[in-house]
Amino acid sequence: MVIQGGGERLTIGEAARRSGMRTSRIRYWEAHGVLPEPERVSGMRRYRPDVVRRLAIIDAAQRVGFTLAEIRELFADQGPAHERLRQLSARKLPDIDDLIERAQTIRSLLVRCATCDCDSLDECRIIDGVLHAAGGAGARA
């Protein structure tokens, strides 16, 4: 569809098809202020074609762990985009480092569990170590 003087406009279905996303996801992002509300023609959403790129950026930002609030900040019209991206990334890196450390600890534990030959969890030293490390009740001293 072409809007007079405004160029091509996409329905939500067309934006979803071109981006490979569901319409419900697009509506969700709109409702949470990550995606600006589109213009409406006869009550129906009409998006500019550049919405497909923005949808891809939002998807990528979520995949690397940015929250919706952080994504809204990323798209704010305050200063150069690279500055916002750098600041958000620098703030996010400690969280990712913590996540990696926890994942490595879990992996190490699972590797040990994969070699367990205990007949009973009540007698398992690996489980005792997990309980002790977690400060849980029931660990043997």
Write out pLDDT tens, residues 114-138.
888 888 888 888 888 777 776 666 5
Nearest to 17 by CA among 8, 29, 28, 25: 25
Please, where are the H alpha helices in 51-116?
Answer: 51-63, 68-74, 81-113
> Does residue 96 lie in a domain region?
no
Cα separation, 42 vs 12, whole angstroms? 14
Domain that holds residue 55: 1-66
Q: Is residue 16 one of the residues assigned to a domain? A: yes
Tell me which DSSP letter residue 137 carries.
T
Q: Is residue 30 part of a domain?
A: yes
Q: Is there a contact between 31 and 12 (Cβ–Cβ < 8 Å)?
A: no
More confident residue, 14 or 134: 14
Residue 38, classed as helix, strand or coil, is coil
Only one residue has tokens 């998006």, namely: 47
10 Å CB burial of residue 35 (0-12, 13-18, 19+) is buried
Cα gap 129→107, rounded to integer Å? 15
23 belongs to a structural domain? yes
Domain assignment of residue 12, yes or no: yes
- Lowest-confidence segment of 9-13, 77-81, 131-135 by average pLDDT: 131-135
Domain membership flag for residue 42: yes
Residue 72 is assigned to a structural domain of this protein = no
Tokens 């709109």 locate to: 30
Could you tell me which residue, 89 or 134, shows the higher pLDDT?
Answer: 89
Smallest Cα–Cα separation from 34: which of 62, 6, 65? 62
Put simply, whether the predicted model's pTM sits higher than 0.85 gets the answer: no
**What's the CATH number where 5 sits?**
1.10.1660.10
- Per the structure block, which two tokens stand in for 41? 């023609």
11 assigned to some structural domain: yes
